[in-house]
Amino acid sequence: MNLEPRSRIGRSHWRALALAVLGAALVAYGAVAEHLWGLPSGLDVAVHSLLVFPAFAAAIWVALPLARIPSVQLLVAAAVVALAAFGLTLIGAGSAANVSKLACYALLGYWFVSLFEELWWVALVAVLVPWVDVWSVAAGPTRYVVEEQPGFFERISVGFPNPGETATVNIGPPDVIFFALFLAAADRFGLRVGWTWLTMTGFLAATLALVWTWDVSGLPALPAVCLGFLLPNADLLWRNMRDARAAARM
């Protein structure tokens, strides 16, 4: 008797239930956040860093098995969720639309993993992307959108509501996409998935704390995401690149 398939199905059911509960909790929090008690400056940053953002990031981790479905289905699912987010925005269901945007970008990140045939390709992207993001935030397209088209940025970004306020802390689509991409890559290539999630989430929380400490409008988030992928997997990535170089010489 082989019990492995039944065990795997049971785990998938529990994971689906956990994702549904977490998604509903995120929607509920977004709907009631402005009616909660306001927090002193500094404490609200701690709440975001330790509770709110990790809860949103946890949804990407819980949904990780979706990264294994065929790439065409992932694209279709992302398109459907994007349409749902647009429709929910039109009817005024902003909290549900916000979670739908998170889901859409995460699915796109899962899909992008299918474009990488080798692990060292992912590592190379993780090394190069932060420099592009720093330039974009400092003097490129991101700066233009945030400063000149703030309404557009708010519409496409994922917002983390502040308790007792209508304001939100927002991160752009690329930040969520690369977070999901690196987490899915860690799963696909046998890296340290749990540590990857923890370090990416922790470094993003630290970035938020730096925004508050330095009193700036925003900082590049992709350096935190990329570093969070590279650091816990450095030895495995180095071994993979060394093996790939050796194979190329043969």
pLDDT tens figures, 144-159 = 777 777 778 888 999 9
In the three-class reduction of DSSP (H, G, I as helix; E, B as strand; rest coil), residue 192 is classed as coil
Range in 72-76, 114-118, 133-137 the model is least confident about: 133-137
CA pair distance 125, 226, nearest whole angstrom: 9
pLDDT in tens, 35-55: 888 777 778 788 888 888 899
Q: What pTM was computed for the model?
A: 0.90
In the three-class reduction of DSSP (H, G, I as helix; E, B as strand; rest coil), residue 168 is classed as strand
Burial 130-149 (b: 16+ CB within 10 A, else e): beebbebbeeeebeebbeee
Domain range enclosing 236? 4-249
Vertex 106 angle, CA 102 and 112, to 5°: 150
pLDDT category at 2 given cuts 50, 70, 90 is: very low
- Count: domains in the chain: 1
- Yes or no: say if 175 and 214 are a contact pair by the CB < 8 Å rule: no
pLDDT category at 3 given cuts 50, 70, 90 is: very low
247: pLDDT strictly greater than 90: no
Vertex 116 angle, CA 114 and 121, to 5°: 160
**Residue 31: phi, psi to the nearest 5?**
-75, -30
Vertex 163 angle, CA 210 and 167, to 5°: 70
